[in-house]
Structure 1
Amino acid sequence: MNRKDVILEQLLYCHKKNGWFVSFQSAVAGLTSEQTAWKGSEGNNSIKEIVSHLIFWNERYLHRFKEIHLPKMEENNDSTFRNLSDLEWSELMERFNAVMTDWYHTVSECEDEKLDEPVNPEAGVNDPWIGTLTCVTLHNAHHIGQIVTIRKLQGSWDKEQGVS
């Protein structure tokens, strides 16, 4: 297995293939719109807000990977949790699935040398894409775990999904 295959596998595990942790698709399976808006207590993010955050960062890094010009980020990280809050849950799901599918196809079609290129040299970010892609997938996995935890707290988690 080469390094591109490792990244592709990580993208699949985060999106739709259960492994050491449940995938996004398993984590959100069967959720109602009301359950996605539940916060538990003040200061917590809802599942819908977490998915908004994941879409924001995955789209942003995907565009950068595809060398699509990005405007300077005017907001802060906290605002990314509410960035898409006006969308219906089904629209958020479609958008997340689209960006993750696009990530998979884009990485599978890129030249291996792309993984060694700096992420954003104009901004002084000279880290290679291989490390950044690993961080993107770890970030996704982190928030998938939060979604499962929220579901457990609200009593909507079915341990048959893979985590008891």
Structure 2
Amino acid sequence: MMNRKDVLLEQILCCHKKSHWFVSFEKAVAGLTPEQAIWKQSDSENSIREIISHLVFWNKRFLDRFKNSEIPKMEGNNDSTFTYLKESEWEQVLQQFNQVMTDWYETIEKSEDEQFDQYISGQSNETWLESISSITLHNAYHIGQNVTIRKLQGSWSKEQGLS
């Protein structure tokens, strides 16, 4: 029987590398070119690259908080997180997402079970268990957006995963 840590580890793994009920990040971006990563159907939408930038920002910020690291004051708002990695090359953007997901997995794996019952801050009534679970749902949502964008641009085939 899985304990709560095992459930969180499985959620992180499914978002990152293990396609399960939905396509993993690894599969969702496999073979994606830099040009495809910046493609938008309209200016009111985000590109895959922008979505990944947003995911890196929030995953890293919450991971640092979970590890009790210093968190800089947020500049801008949620919209600005979609351009957080604008100076990075496409491969660097992918590496940063992969690294933060690996760091999440390793950090959760080493964590004491009691840490999941702690509140994420003195101003929050959300525990780390609830927060990490929400983070993985947030990741899954945006990974699904990436697959949808690839379908719209014609760079997705059902052999890659869910059709």
Give TM-score scaled by structure 2 length.
Answer: 0.98
1:127 counterpart SS class: coil
Deviates more, 1:67-76 or 1:39-48: 67-76
- Residue 120 of structure 1 and its aligned partner are, at CA, apart by 1.2
Question: What is the distance in 2 between the residues matched to 1:118 and 1:159?
Answer: 41
Deviates more, 1:138-147 or 1:63-72: 63-72
1:118 counterpart SS class: coil
Correspondence 1:58-77 to 2 at 5 A:
58-77=59-78
Question: What is the distance in 1 between the residues matched to 2:16 and 2:114?
Answer: 25
- Residue 126 of structure 1 and its aligned partner are, at CA, apart by 3.0
CA distances 1:91-150 after superposition (whole Å, capped 9, x unpaired): 0111110000000000000000000011011xx113110000000000000000000000
1:126 counterpart SS class: coil
- Runs of 4+ residues over 2 Å off in structure 1: none
Question: What is the distance in 2 between the residues matched to 1:13 and 1:136?
Answer: 13
Q: How many residues align?
A: 162
- Which residue does 1:95 correspond to in 2? 96
- Which residue does 2:145 correspond to in 1? 146
Amino acid at match of 2:158: K
- Residue 8 of structure 1 and its aligned partner are, at CA, apart by 0.3
Aligned-residue sequence identity (percent) comes to 60
Q: Greater share of strand residues, 1 or 2?
A: 1
Correspondence 1:74-85 to 2 at 5 A:
74-85=75-86
- Which residue does 1:114 correspond to in 2? 115
Amino acid at match of 1:126: N
- Which residue does 1:133 correspond to in 2? 132
Deviates more, 1:82-91 or 1:103-112: 82-91
2:126 counterpart SS class: strand
Question: What is the distance in 1 between the residues matched to 2:55 and 2:92?
Answer: 14
Amino acid at match of 1:51: I
Amino acid at match of 1:129: W
Amino acid at match of 1:142: Y
- Residue 160 of structure 1 and its aligned partner are, at CA, apart by 0.7
- Which residue does 1:3 correspond to in 2? 4
- Which residue does 1:105 correspond to in 2? 106
- Residue 74 of structure 1 and its aligned partner are, at CA, apart by 2.4
Question: What is the distance in 2 between the residues matched to 1:158 and 1:90?
Answer: 22
Question: What is the distance in 2 between the residues matched to 1:70 and 1:102?
Answer: 16
- Which residue does 2:34 correspond to in 1? 33
2:120 counterpart SS class: strand
